[in-house]
Amino acid sequence: MEARKQQLVRRHRRNKRILMVVALPILVALDWFGSWGTAPVVLVLAWIAHEAWFSDHLFYSPRDDYRHAFVPDSLSLPILLDRHGQITLHEGVWPETADTLVLAIHVRSNWLGRCLDPHVLIGEGEDLDRQDFERGVNGMRFLNLSACLPLLRTGQLKLSGRFCTLGREATLYCFSNPDYTRQRVMVLAPHADDAELAAFGLYSRSQDVSIVTLTQGEIEADFYRRLGLSDAAAARLKGRLRSWSSQTVPLWGGVEPSRCVQLGYYCMQLRQMESEPSMPFASRESGDSDIRSVRRFNAMKLPADMDGSPTWHNLTADLAALLQHFKPEVVVLPHPELDPHPDHIQTGRALRQAIEQSGWRPDVQLLYANHLADNDRWPMGPAGYGIALPPCIEPLPADKLWCLQLDDSVLLDKSQALAMQHDLQTPLPFKKRLRRLIQWCLAARRWPQAGEDEFFRKAVRRHELFWVRPFENTETL
């Protein structure tokens, strides 16, 4: 998935260069045959249009169908929509219980949907939900109708498109899951804020939960250089702050610091560590090579505390010891196919080897995606609403889904948990601030007041979405 993202980025940059080469003679011709002030005006207008409507990092066509696949024993029901958007069951019977409902339906934007974000309104009144899609969408999409089963049974659920139209025929996929919050849960976070972004609602509701953060997240510390620090000192400070956050912020969600473990390995070094398992890999920016510098608040001793060496062997030994200690039945970690961040991918690989070493095998993995390869706006739309399924242009392994519902009080707590994360409080650069102003005026986009970082919009939603995959086949991690 990461290789595909790099290919998409290279293709995007190549297309932009080609566009610039084509536009240059056109601008020269405008100045030659028109007035000398034509080209600058055209350039300014073109830049504003780009920032308003073409600056999204979308590395696929909005006309592509999403290609989600689900386990064969999933219940699927044919659905019909009348011209008023009322849903009726074409054949079969509604399930007795289902905690997660996904509607596969064709969505097609109208002409306004090329300038404004097309979205679907689900339900009415206080329970009204909104789920957004790409501008110019014209393909199969997957709406999240979780918690709507009572309304579906009574025929009271209504869908309506804004700046788009919905197909009349659709398929409803129904999933029933146990309440994983009542089991022993371990959340694996590659970086300090990943647990809050993906699973604050889950871990704050869980009765027996541990949170393990693998890295300090010390790189890209430009903001801290304003304090007069050197590059190495700024990275070191950022690593200390994020490590502190990883062990203190979960207390806001009811998780005791004794159940939060910071391993202290270095950001973007996990892949190199696996390639040479016995070789220590120091921080790229701080130069530090002793992971014990951020482990002093851990409540338990781990194998790597002996020498503090940032090696792959130490990482897998640490995880194996944590598996034996906490004995989780459920492990929450990044989705290996959807989430392309190298540290996120390596987290799953390290877990697989740790399971082999420890002898403790959890029952289920709940997979989350905080980053996507081909759409950096997902979940699309304003904060506070639901989460439709993400873009899936290449087929994924067939999984079940589990959608956790968050009420308004949990959303407020989650937004404040993100506000406590130092890395999410960095002020926006002037260019991004100007882009938001342009999109606010011309594209009707809105951002929450809780924080400027894009994750305050993407992560504070009424749903937390997980792909459910048994641990019987760990080679898919």
Instruction: Encode pLDDT of 190-232 as tens digits.
Output: 999 999 999 999 999 999 999 999 999 999 999 999 999 999 9
In this prediction, residues 136-148 reach a mean pLDDT of 96
The third-level CATH classification (topology) of the domain covering 180-371+407-460 is Rossmann fold (3.40.50)
- The model's confidence at residue 20, banded by pLDDT at 50, 70 and 90, is low
Which one, of 119, 137, 139, 138, lies nearest residue 129 by Cα?
Answer: 119
Q: What share of the chain is helix, strand, coil (3-state, %, to 5)?
A: 40, 20, 40
Report residue 325 as tokens.
């200690």
* pLDDT given at position 102: 98
- The model's confidence at residue 92, banded by pLDDT at 50, 70 and 90, is confident
* pLDDT given at position 323: 98
In this prediction, residues 265-284 reach a mean pLDDT of 97
pLDDT of 16 over the 80 cut: no
Q: Bridge-partner residues for 210, per DSSP?
A: 186
Q: Which amino acid is at 423?
A: D
pLDDT of 10 over the 70 cut: no
Mean pLDDT score across all residues of the chain: 92
* pLDDT given at position 473: 52
pLDDT of 260 over the 70 cut: yes
Per the rule left: phi > 0, alpha: psi between -120 and 50, beta: everything else, 457 is alpha
* pLDDT given at position 91: 84
* pLDDT given at position 1: 47
pLDDT of 108 over the 60 cut: yes
How far is residue 13 from each of residues 20, 36, 135, 300, measured CA to CA in Å? 11, 30, 21, 48
Which one, of 204, 247, 253, 150, lies nearest residue 404 by Cα?
Answer: 204
Pairing of strands 330-334, 184-189: parallel
CB 279 within 8 A of CB 273: yes
Dist CA 258 CA 345 (whole Å): 27
Report residue 371 as tokens.
């980053």
Computed from CA positions of residues 398, 141, 412, 404, in that sequence, does the dihedral angle turn out positive or negative?
negative
How far is residue 350 from each of residues 192, 319, 343, 392, 402, measured CA to CA in Å? 17, 8, 10, 25, 24
CB 87 within 8 A of CB 143: no
Q: Bridge-partner residues for 37, per DSSP?
A: none
Task: Please state, for a pLDDT cut of 90, what percent of the chain lies above it.
Answer: 80
pLDDT of 38 over the 70 cut: no
Dist CA 22 CA 39 (whole Å): 14
pLDDT of 8 over the 70 cut: no
pLDDT in tens, 430-470: 999 999 999 999 999 999 999 999 999 999 999 999 999 99
- The model's confidence at residue 44, banded by pLDDT at 50, 70 and 90, is confident
In this prediction, residues 41-47 reach a mean pLDDT of 79
Burial 95-107 (b: 16+ CB within 10 A, else e): beebbbbbbbbbb
Least confident of 2-6, 14-18, 379-383: 2-6
For residues 224, 227, 233, 239, the Cα torsion angle rounded to the nearest 10 degrees is: -40
CB 291 within 8 A of CB 241: no
Report residue 55 as tokens.
């600056």
* pLDDT given at position 58: 86
pLDDT of 2 over the 60 cut: no
Dist CA 260 CA 258 (whole Å): 6
Domain ranges (residues) in the chain = 2-54, 180-371+407-460
185 Cβ contact list (under 8 Å, min separation 6)? 202, 203, 206, 208, 209, 210, 328, 329, 330, 331, 332
283 Cβ contact list (under 8 Å, min separation 6)? 216, 218, 219, 235, 239, 266, 267, 269, 289
Residues in the chain: 477
Task: Please state, for a pLDDT cut of 70, what percent of the chain lies above it.
Answer: 91
pLDDT in tens, 343-383: 999 999 999 999 999 999 999 999 999 999 889 999 999 99
pLDDT of 34 over the 70 cut: no
Q: Bridge-partner residues for 404, per DSSP?
A: 464
In this prediction, residues 28-57 reach a mean pLDDT of 75
Cα angle at 303 between 298 and 306, to 5 degrees? 90
CB 90 within 8 A of CB 417: no
* pLDDT given at position 476: 46
